[in-house]
Amino acid sequence: MSTADYKTMTTAEIREDFLKFFESKGCKLCPSSSLVPDDPSLLLANAGMNQFKEYYQGSKTMKEIGACSCQKCLRTNDIDNIGDARHLSFFEMLGNFSFGGYTKADAIAWAYEFITSPEHLGLPKDRLYMTVFENDEEAIELWHAQGVDYDHISRLGEEDNFWAAGPTGPCGPCSEIYFDQGEEFGCGSPDCAPGCDCDRYLEFWNLVFTQYDRQEDGSMPELPHRNIDTGMGLERIAAIMQHKGTNYDGDLLQSLIGVGEKLSGHEYGTDAAKDRSLRILADHSRAVTFMIGDGILPGNEGRGYILRRLLRRAVYHARLMNIQSPFLSTYVDEVTRLMGDNYPALVEQNALIQGIVRAEEERFGATLDAGESMLETECAKLAEGAVLPGEVAFKLHDTYGFPIDLTREICEAAGHEVDMEGFDACMTEQKERARAAANRDAWSNFNDVWTGLSDKLAATEFCGYDADAADGCRVVAIVAREAEADEAHAGDEVSVVLDQTPFYAEMGGQCGDTGYLTDGGSLKVRVSDTKGKNGLYAHVATVEEGTLRVGDVVTAAVDHGRRELIRRNHTATHLLDAALKQVLGEHVSQAGSFVGPDRLRFDFTHFEAMTADELARVEGLVNAEIFAAEPIVTRVMGLDEAKASGAVALFGEKYGETVRVVSTGDSDAPFSRELCGGTHARNTADLGLFKIVSESSVGSNARRIEAVTSMGAIEHLDEQLELLAGVAHELKCRPADAAERVASLNHELRDTRKKLEAVTTGAGSDKVAEAFRSAVQLDGYKAVVARLDGLSGKDMRSAWDGIRDAAEGEPVACVIASATPDGKVALLAGATDAAVASGFKAGDIVKNIASLVGGRGGGRPNMAQAGGSDVSGIDAALDAARKELGL
């Protein structure tokens, strides 16, 4: 490319210059929003305009004439394409926006000024081309008014020049700006022009004139005002400003490609397949870093799945490049170094990002090992060019978690296609099996009686938030033995539906209530559980006394003490959730819970085991909130208002129009604020005390905490103290000294082990084995007479044990002597009972030879020991023993 006719700028310079330029025009500089959009219709931020949707729709206004930003975006429509020289998953988009503030004319004039003015990009005018939407004469004239020749302006259809962020929402016709890279980049076709698929004309800036609001039914009413939404891919314009042909040649991505070059030893630009892997690594590692930085965790659905796919694809390509694991952390560091100044989340969340990539990389490395070897075996079975059966690909996916796109990639490299139809069929079958199983479960205790009842009865009204008992509850249905009944008698087991009830039905993790239904007379019905069935509350009950009839009016009283415990544990899950977010980070989100009277269980997303310190901090935060005695405030409000107040909602959970918001205290920034339908303590102080009982893993990136409050916490502490008392009793010390006592016992044990090892596995045991080999067969037993220097008096016993073991139950006897480590002599004679019976007398031998080593001793016929002081007499002593035995 000719480089002489315009200047060079770095990515950082372009970013800064663009934002300053539009600020100087009166636009409000807005930071990039998170990659996780605050918009359920969108999976990931894919354009600068996402964060301004409500301004376009007119429900929000700003005092400035418009806005500008540099937005992190992620587009993964076609992950398989990423790796070619053009496509990126993550990219930065420079944009300026107007919501009825400045006009289309302004937008066009400013865009032209920015790209052509020597103070800014200063691109040569003759290399710039504009496209407009079909019959947008206005845009043509506006460009022409800037001095653009008509033959540099062309019309394109809806596919190119109509822009929408998604299937619904703000959209409109657009006008694109192209840079002519020169004829040498072209396809040579006489029709080659902006919009052609070849590389000659590079589209780098899209000016959208957002004026419609597309609805679900496809209709497009006008937005309240005419808007502007422009987007310029920063990587694209950086490549142009650096006189480079492709996105990946710009300074920023080149630095990341450099990481791969260093790790793999491969020089970029020398091998097409390896270059592709280097681009994939550069792109995916950057995307992964940003995604986790914005709180996305690897998972099997939605964003989590996209993240996992990108991360795994990177790990796979690193393997192709022979890059040793773990390598992703090196990329994370480089991305953070390059971009952390502009995106502080990368720096703030560094520990989280590193932790997650490490864990996923490890896990997937193991999967790859297993899957790859299975796939290799399968491919080897195939004839050349044969198709890999869909069932095999499915088994890899299902059993080994081996991603289908990798299976395809590996097979392709080995010259095999994958039978995708077969694979899809297996997937569908599996889904159907799962659905059928789920239905069976759901319907097994929700049979036709209940569907019929829920059709004809109004939903049960719950009146138990404040009170635990209610008078005037009417029995509207009784179900006995899976059928509707008019009445039930003492001894009958039934499910009872009331028009209103203070009994909480098992829901949202909180267990069902127990208690009694009475009528002030003889009726007594014991409720052992409460379950929700299509809006009806089924009191699972036994009639203890009297007769219960449909139409009866009863008093429903929840077991107060049990309910109080449940209330406290439910509030504790909220405090725990908030504390975990504070200690571990905002990525923590509830993944399931169980709230019972005696304990609570809370599952949440996190990538590694919590440390003792983290657990202590979480416990401390929760207890501090308990001791702060904050009242629990519950308000019913609209869902939008609740979300705006920062209430924690469960991802993917469906909420009604109005929701209950449960907060600790009434301040604007409470310790905890959550959407919740459960029953709660009145004040955090009711919880008394909070103790974590365990923390464990429940699947990848999910942890579980079990905890107790109030009476449960006291019981837990009592149990712990009892345990400690038991330990102290065994150790015969005071509980306070137990740790020290155990430490000293451990020390002693270690010493003893070491010595024992020396005897049984070290030089000692070798000597023993050797001595045994020299055994001489006597009448009725084998005799070993040997010198085993280096053993102490104590060790001699082990040596005898060793000799006896070596004899494997045969009669054996020994006379052994050692020059001990402290310069003395140890003698030992030992014999099995059979050897004694054959005449061996250990005591006598030792007694007779001890004097030769300056000692004295003796013992029983089967075991005798002596010590001595004269090492020089050892051999003579052993000779004497031999003589005595007739050897």
Interface residue list for ligand SER (CB under 6 A): 47-49, 95, 163, 206, 208, 229-231
| Minimum distance of ligand SER from residue 231's CB (angstroms) | 2
3-state SS, 420-447, equals: HHHHHHHHHHHHHHHHHHHHHHHHHCCC
Pairwise CA distance, residues 783 & 803, whole Å: 10
**DSSP reduced 3-state for 601:** strand
Task: Name which of 15 and 782 has its Cβ closer to ligand SER.
Answer: 15
Task: Name which of 213 and 552 has its Cβ closer to ligand SER.
Answer: 213
Reading the block at residue 536, the tokens are 């009806």
312 Cβ neighbours under 8 A, 6+ residues apart: 360, 364, 403, 406
Q: What is the DSSP string of 194-241?
A: TT-SSSSEEEEEEEE---EEE-TTS--PBPSS-EEEEEEEHHHHHHHH
Task: Name which of 94 and 819 has its Cβ closer to ligand SER.
Answer: 94
Amino acid identity for residue 568 in this structure: R
| Minimum distance of ligand SER from residue 135's CB (angstroms) | 21
| Minimum distance of ligand SER from residue 130's CB (angstroms) | 15
Task: Name which of 206 and 211 has its Cβ closer to ligand SER.
Answer: 206
Task: Name which of 229 and 795 has its Cβ closer to ligand SER.
Answer: 229
Task: Name which of 25 and 563 has its Cβ closer to ligand SER.
Answer: 25
831 Cβ neighbours under 8 A, 6+ residues apart: 781, 812, 813, 814, 840, 842, 861, 862, 863
| Minimum distance of ligand SER from residue 147's CB (angstroms) | 24
Task: Name which of 95 and 830 has its Cβ closer to ligand SER.
Answer: 95
| Minimum distance of ligand SER from residue 226's CB (angstroms) | 15
* Alpha helix (H) residue ranges in 242-271: 251-264
| Minimum distance of ligand SER from residue 178's CB (angstroms) | 14
Task: Name which of 174 and 815 has its Cβ closer to ligand SER.
Answer: 174
Q: What is the DSSP string of 549-567?
A: ETT-EEEEEE-HHHHHHHH
* C-alpha gyration radius of the chain: 40
505 Cβ neighbours under 8 A, 6+ residues apart: 460, 462, 512, 513, 530, 531, 532, 537, 538
Pairwise CA distance, residues 295 & 345, whole Å: 10
Task: Name which of 164 and 880 has its Cβ closer to ligand SER.
Answer: 164
| Minimum distance of ligand SER from residue 15's CB (angstroms) | 15
Task: Name which of 163 and 504 has its Cβ closer to ligand SER.
Answer: 163
Exposure string of 435-456, with b = 16+ CB inside 10 Å and e = fewer, is: eeeeeeeeeeeeeebbeebbee
Amino acid identity for residue 683 in this structure: N
| Minimum distance of ligand SER from residue 105's CB (angstroms) | 18
In degrees rounded to 5, what are phi and psi of residue 41?
-80, 0
Pairwise CA distance, residues 87 & 94, whole Å: 17
Task: Name which of 128 and 368 has its Cβ closer to ligand SER.
Answer: 128
| Minimum distance of ligand SER from residue 241's CB (angstroms) | 19
Residue number of the CB atom closest to ligand SER: 231
| Minimum distance of ligand SER from residue 558's CB (angstroms) | 55
Task: Name which of 92 and 577 has its Cβ closer to ligand SER.
Answer: 92
Q: Is-contact 862 833, C-beta < 8 A?
A: yes
Task: Name which of 231 and 464 has its Cβ closer to ligand SER.
Answer: 231
Pairwise CA distance, residues 831 & 851, whole Å: 21
* Alpha helix (H) residue ranges in 91-186: 104-116, 137-145, 158-161
| Minimum distance of ligand SER from residue 172's CB (angstroms) | 10
Pairwise CA distance, residues 393 & 398, whole Å: 9
Pairwise CA distance, residues 564 & 514, whole Å: 12
Name which of 140, 110, 80, 98 is nearest 18 in CA terms.
110
In terms of residues, how long is the chain?
887
Neighbour count for residue 844 (Cβ, 10 Å): 15
Reading the block at residue 92, the tokens are 């930065």
| Minimum distance of ligand SER from residue 206's CB (angstroms) | 4
| Minimum distance of ligand SER from residue 164's CB (angstroms) | 9
Distances (CA, A) of 601 to 594, 631, 874: 5, 23, 71
Task: Name which of 220 and 540 has its Cβ closer to ligand SER.
Answer: 220
Q: Is-contact 51 33, C-beta < 8 A?
A: yes
Task: Name which of 231 and 830 has its Cβ closer to ligand SER.
Answer: 231
| Minimum distance of ligand SER from residue 345's CB (angstroms) | 22
Pairwise CA distance, residues 543 & 539, whole Å: 11
- Dihedral (CA of 719, 725, 729, 735) sign: positive
Task: Name which of 111 and 335 has its Cβ closer to ligand SER.
Answer: 111
| Minimum distance of ligand SER from residue 30's CB (angstroms) | 14
| Minimum distance of ligand SER from residue 163's CB (angstroms) | 5
117 Cβ neighbours under 8 A, 6+ residues apart: none
